[in-house]
Amino acid sequence: MIGIVMGSLSDYKVMMKAEEVLCEFGVPYEITIVSAHRTPDLLFSYADSARHRGLKGIIAGAGGSAHLPGMLAAKTPLPVYAVPIKATCLDGLDSLLSIVQMPYGVPVATFAIDGAGNAALFAVQQLAVDDDRLFKRLVEFRLAQTQKVLDTKLVAAVGPLQPC
């Protein structure tokens, strides 16, 4: 249902969070290495066949001169959720700026540097628009994270707070 692609195996340490989120929500996915620069023909065939293979969106992570998400979006109107990856001396800012400034007509939803988890959550949210089961699981996920914050015992971690 969702394709996860990344420019290199070295991106997997970041992109595995997207895999984890899709697993948690029971969303079927495929995961593939596709490089805009090293395997441009594979990028084209991947994007051309994506819809026929049943994909409803593509989460694309890339570092450096990160053309993968934009080129996928150029080749298919499926939603592309981009994850800029911290992979070079420029700490991911290079990837972010490469990805985020898409020209009008070819949008890419760009997430935080190394933000694969939120990219996957957003993909799940879009699938949930037409899926009551997924929507319910998202509501439960939000409630659980709220409860986790409320249950955090700050006193145990830093000692009792002093009145001002």
**Helix (H), strand (E) at residue 133:** helix 132-151
Nearest alpha carbon to residue 56 among 42, 76, 74, 85: 76
| β-bridge partners, 82 | 60, 110
The binder of ligand RP5 chosen from 3, 7, 57, 115 (CB under 6 A): 7
Q: Which is nearer to ligand RP5, 56 or 86 (CB)?
A: 86
Contacting ligand RP5 within 39-68 (CB under 6 A)? 62-64
3-state helix, strand, coil in the chain (%, to 5): 50, 15, 35
Q: Which is nearer to ligand RP5, 63 or 79 (CB)?
A: 63
The one segment of 5-13, 51-59, 117-125, 148-156 that binds ligand RP5 by CB under 6 A: 5-13
Q: How far is the CB of 46 from ligand RP5 (least distance, A)?
A: 15
Q: Which is nearer to ligand RP5, 26 or 40 (CB)?
A: 40
Q: In the numeric block, which tokens belong to residue 112? A: 């935080």
Binding mask 89-128 for ligand RP5 (x = CB under 6 A): ----------------------------------------
> DSSP for 84-127?
EE--STTTTHHHHHHHH-PPTTS--EE--TT-HHHHHHHHHHHH
35 belongs to the binding site for ligand RP5 (CB under 6 A): yes
Task: List contacts with ligand RP5 (CB under 6 A).
Answer: 7-8, 10-11, 35, 62-64, 85, 87
